[in-house]
Amino acid sequence: MTRGVLLDLAGVIYDGATAISGGVDAVARLRQAGFSIRFVSNTTRSSKKKVLDHLGAMGLTAAKADVFTPAQAAREWLLRNGRAPY
């Protein structure tokens, strides 16, 4: 059985430029317990790279595939439905 956790970023992991107390430690404990972690965001103002850099500045390591954004969702929908993403 796959065990994973989806975590929203704003208001759960960070508030603006500040990590929310206990958030980074909670992610570390979940990973140590064997959970796969994915981060989701509804921000349309930050690129995935900027989100990853923001997480890294807070001490959270995440791969590009671990972060899901609205721009990515829109692009994938367009491709799946035979539309051009740009």
The tens digit of pLDDT for each residue in 21-46 reads: 999 999 999 999 999 999 999 988 88
pLDDT recorded at residue 47: 87
CA distance 48 to 26: 22
Backbone angles phi, psi at 53, to 5 degrees: -65, -40
Boundaries of domain holding 28: 4-80
Using the structure block, give the residue that is written with the tokens 């990853």: 52
Half-sphere exposure of residue 71, counting CA atoms within 13 Å on the CB side?
Answer: 10
Percent of the chain with pLDDT over 90: 70
Q: Band the pLDDT of 85: cuts 50, 70, 90.
A: low
Is residue 69 over pLDDT 80?
Answer: yes
The number of helix segments (H) and strand segments (E) in the chain equals 3, 5
CATH code for position 70? 3.40.50.1000
85 belongs to a structural domain: no
pTM > 0.85: yes or no: no
Encoding tokens for residue 68? 């899901």
34 belongs to a structural domain: yes
Is residue 84 over pLDDT 90?
Answer: no
